[in-house]
Amino acid sequence: MEKQTIDSMVGVLDARMNRQLKQYMDICARCAICKDACHQYVATQDMKYLPARRAELLRQIYRRYFTKAGQFLPALYEAREPDENLMDELYESTYACTGCRRCTYYCPFSIDTGWITSVSKGVLIAAGRGNEMLGQLADAALFKADNMDVFDEIIVNGFKDVVRELEEELGRPVAIPVDKQGADILYVALAGSHSIKPAAVIFDAAGASWTLSKFEAANYGFFFGDPAKAKLIADRFMNEAKRLGVKEVVITECGHAYRVAEMFYEAWAKEKMPFKVRHILEVIDEYIKDGRITVDPKGIAEKVTYHDPCQIGRNGGIYEQPRDIMHAIAPDFVDMTPNRETQWCCGGGGGIVAMEEFNDVRLKSGGKKVEQIKATGAKLLACPCENCRLQIEELSKVHDLGLRIVPVMELVAEALR
Could you say which residues in the range 125-144 bind other proteins, by CB under 8 A? 133, 136-137, 139-144
Nearer of residues 151 and 379 to other proteins, judged by Cβ: 151
The torsion angles phi and psi of 335, rounded to 5 degrees, stand at -85, 155
Nearer of residues 28 and 416 to other proteins, judged by Cβ: 28
Site for other proteins contains 192 (CB under 8 A) = yes
Scanning 237-245, 277-285, 322-330, 348-356 for contacts with other proteins by CB under 8 A, the matching segment is: 348-356
User: Is-contact 197 222, C-beta < 8 A?
Assistant: no
Residue 241 CB, nearest approach to other proteins (Å): 19
User: Is-contact 305 326, C-beta < 8 A?
Assistant: no
CA atoms within 13 A on the CB side of 235: 17
Among 218, 238, 284, 293, binds other proteins (CB under 8 A): 218
Among 10, 24, 280, 306, binds other proteins (CB under 8 A): 24
Scanning 26-34, 122-130, 197-205, 366-374 for contacts with other proteins by CB under 8 A, the matching segment is: 26-34
Site for other proteins contains 339 (CB under 8 A) = no
Residue 195 CB, nearest approach to other proteins (Å): 8
Residue 15 CB, nearest approach to other proteins (Å): 11
Site for other proteins contains 15 (CB under 8 A) = no
d(CA 291, CA 382): 22
User: Is-contact 151 215, C-beta < 8 A?
Assistant: no
User: What is the sign, positive or negative, of the torsion defined by CA atoms of 266, 269, 274, 277?
Assistant: negative
Helices (H) and strands (E) in the chain, counts: 22, 8
Among 191, 244, 273, 334, binds other proteins (CB under 8 A): 191
Residue 319 CB, nearest approach to other proteins (Å): 7
Residue 410 CB, nearest approach to other proteins (Å): 13
Scanning 24-32, 174-182, 289-297, 360-368 for contacts with other proteins by CB under 8 A, the matching segment is: 24-32
**Which amino acid, one-letter code, is at 349?**
G
Which among 228, 212, 142 is positioned nearest to 174, based on CA atoms? Answer: 212
Q: DSSP for 209-236? A: -EEE-SS-S--HHHHHT-HHHHHHHHHH
Residue 293 CB, nearest approach to other proteins (Å): 25
In 91-245, which ranges are E strands? Answer: 185-188, 210-212
User: Is-contact 308 314, C-beta < 8 A?
Assistant: yes
**Stretch 62-121 residues interacting with other proteins (CB under 8 A):** 69, 75-78, 101, 104-112, 115
User: Is-contact 232 260, C-beta < 8 A?
Assistant: no
d(CA 258, CA 250): 9
Nearer of residues 53 and 278 to other proteins, judged by Cβ: 53
CA atoms within 13 A on the CB side of 344: 22
Among 39, 121, 194, 229, binds other proteins (CB under 8 A): 194
Among 98, 120, 193, 213, binds other proteins (CB under 8 A): 193
Residue 246 CB, nearest approach to other proteins (Å): 22
Give, to the nearest 10 degrees, the angle between helix 148-170 and helix 132-146. 90
Please work out the total of residues on this chain that contact other proteins, with binding judged by CB under 8 A.
84
d(CA 354, CA 391): 10
**Stretch 356-395 residues interacting with other proteins (CB under 8 A):** 356, 386, 390
Per-residue x/- track, 252-291, other proteins (CB under 8 A): -----------xx--xx-x---------------------
Among 8, 86, 158, 399, binds other proteins (CB under 8 A): 158
Nearer of residues 84 and 153 to other proteins, judged by Cβ: 153
Site for other proteins contains 22 (CB under 8 A) = yes
Scanning 27-35, 202-210, 247-255, 364-372 for contacts with other proteins by CB under 8 A, the matching segment is: 27-35
Q: Tell me the C-alpha to C-alpha distance, in Å, between residue 250 and each of 203, 247, 293.
A: 11, 10, 17
